[in-house]
Amino acid sequence: MQFTTKIPIEKFSKPITYDSNILSLGSCFADNMDEKFDYYKFSTVTNPFGIIFNPISLERIVHRIVNQVAFTENAIFFHNEAWHCFEVHSELSHPNKDEFLKQLNSILNDVHSQIRSLTHCIITLGTAWVYRNNALDKIVANCHKVPQNQFTKELLSVAAIQKSIENIVTLVQQINKEVQFICTVSPVRHSKDGFVENNVSKAHLLSAVYTCKASLNIAYFPSYEIVLDELRDYRFYAEDMLHPNAIAIQYIWQRFKETVIDATVYEIMDEVATIQKALAHKPFNPESESHLKFLANLKHKIQLLQNQIPHIQFK
């Protein structure tokens, strides 16, 4: 007897291994998945310019990275005792203008170099609703608590989203033609837009990705559909009833692992998980002989793993 609607997902033709270099861009759900990548010690960079929810802003930041268009004073502004940039998340905002620009351009150069060695690029789209700054006549990635009357809210068309996805792929391929793109739509519900409006937004994103999947060399991972059709219960949501909770994220990761990560590395992932659990262990008596043996054994396991995969490092 089956109690859920299982989403069929074909195994990816270019799966992720420990030799892969991964760049993840997009909504907060990308950060959720990055925690799993980081736990299992894959080589990954996620949202170097912070969370970006809409495809237009993602395209703009990718254009800046690929073409190495440096951030200048024209791209930043001072508000509420800090310097901000409408193209990046507020977590990067800084009280010192020069330090802020230095930080932004350092990240820009680092990510440009990373794209050259990428094997996989994961794009997680969050919303088709955007805010256009009236004075600049530009869609922003983050409003930085600037008064709402300085923005106009708009719904991106399916065609506009499709064009942005196509442009992102084309831009990255200018410097690395071997990248495997994976698109997904965030299952996080944007209730502030309105529940009907959230559904319209997700529909536009899904329609655009569906069209791009057929016309471009990109894969699609159905995280949105897994939450909607396989889980379909509020027990899989956090307290705000909008974000998937830890159980849901773990389940989505399991489906991701089954279809996107090469089965040949599962044994290594299990070994990494064993080490991670051991590192999290809190001894009753840190000076006991048994704990010292435990630490020596753990050190040996880490060394064996690092001999096999040198880039794996544990804190």
Which CATH number is 148's domain given? 3.40.50.1110
Total structural domains in the chain? 2
Residue 4's pLDDT is what?
79
Classify residue 88: in a domain, yes or no.
yes
Position 15 in a domain: no
Q: Residue ranges of the alpha helices (H) in 176-288? A: 195-215, 223-225, 246-260, 266-279
The answer to whether residue 1 is domain-embedded is no
Structure-block tokens of residue 62 = 């990718």
Residues 167 and 281 in one domain: no
Q: Phi and psi for 308 in degrees, rounded to 5?
A: -80, -45
3-state secondary structure of 36: helix
Does one domain contain both 99 and 215?
yes
∠ CA 207-208-213, nearest 5°, is 100
- Which one, of 216, 219, 115, 119, lies nearest residue 172 by Cα? 115
Of the candidates 240, 261, 282, which is a domain's last residue? 261
Same domain, 49 and 114: yes
- Residue-wise pLDDT tens digits, 55-89: 999 999 999 999 999 999 999 999 999 999 999 99
**What pLDDT score was predicted for residue 2?**
75
Domain contains 295: yes
254 and 157 part of one domain: yes
Boundary residue ending a domain (261, 278, 305): 261
Q: Which pLDDT belongs to residue 115?
A: 96
Say if 3 falls within a structural domain.
no
Residues 125 and 193 in one domain: yes
Same-domain status, 192 and 294: no
Output the pLDDT for position 296. Answer: 94
Give the per-residue pLDDT at 315.
81
**Cα within 13 Å of Cα(118), Cβ side:** 29
Residue type, 120: H
Instruction: Report which DSSP code applies to 90.
Output: G
Same domain, 228 and 291: no
What pLDDT does 154 receive?
A: 98
CB atoms within 10 A of CB 97: 14
Answer yes or no: do 212 and 302 share one domain: no
Shared domain for 39 and 113, answered yes or no, is yes
254 and 269 both lie in a single domain: no
In tens digits, what is the pLDDT along the chain, a chain of 315 residues? 777 788 999 999 999 999 999 999 999 888 899 999 999 999 999 999 999 999 999 999 999 999 999 999 999 999 999 999 999 999 999 999 999 999 999 999 999 999 999 999 999 999 999 999 999 999 999 999 999 999 999 999 999 999 999 999 999 999 999 999 999 999 999 999 999 999 999 999 999 999 999 888 799 999 999 999 999 899 999 999 999 999 999 999 999 999 999 999 999 999 999 999 999 988 888 889 888 899 999 999 999 999 999 999 998
Residue 11 inside a domain? The answer is: no
pLDDT at 113 (0 to 100): 96
**Segments forming the whole domain that contains residue 179:** 21-261
Q: What's the length of the chain?
A: 315
Residues 242 and 119 placed together within one structural domain of the fold? yes
pTM for the predicted model, two decimal places: 0.94
Side-chain-facing half-sphere of 14: CA atoms under 13 Å: 18
